[in-house]
Amino acid sequence: MMELPKYQMPRLKDVVLGLYQRAIIFLKRAGTIILGTTILLWALASFPQAKPGESQVDVSIAGRISDGIYVLVKPIGFNRDISLALLPAMAAREVAVSAIATVYSIDASDEEAAAKPLAERLQGRWSLATALAFLAWFVFAPQCISTIAVTRRETNGWKWPLFMVSYLFVLAYVAAGLTYWTAVALGL
């Protein structure tokens, strides 16, 4: 005969301690990735320096990279700012928001404009259809580079990770496009 353990409600102190430890682990892992990619994006968006009257994003290395991505994502309602955020978002999805905030801060004309909350800046630059398409993109887009690396390690090859990334990008593109086109057709 086997004796089962005594089942009882966990103590509040144990639950809080467990949650605290998990939160610290997450912040260390995700925070390191977010900080690193934000610094890299800042460097790419800050150099070379723009001349007076020019937009910093237009002349920067990051701006030139985003121009290539923008050509592909323009039909689904994405703007240059979103195309710039998609690349660092592959490191971690959370980086997309910090990437957009970094670009808007670098391209701000003065200190007052740079101090505005991100939500206020997005209201003038994004339509509702674009925002919905952006959300739809991240529902289906590949998770992050570490997920692809784990898939490669677990499958012992590149066939399945490449298949996974391909179909997820196609699925994200189609979902974002359908969301954008539907929202525009409905007048949103």
pLDDT tens readout for residues 13-68: 999 999 999 999 988 877 787 788 878 888 888 889 888 888 888 888 988 999 99
**Mean pLDDT on 146-169:** 91
- Nearest 5°: the CA angle 93, 97, 69 is 75
The alpha carbon dihedral of 133, 134, 139, 145 has a sign of positive
Is it the case that residue 74 has pLDDT exceeding 80? Answer: yes
Is it the case that residue 112 has pLDDT exceeding 80? Answer: no
Q: What pLDDT was estimated at residue 99?
A: 85
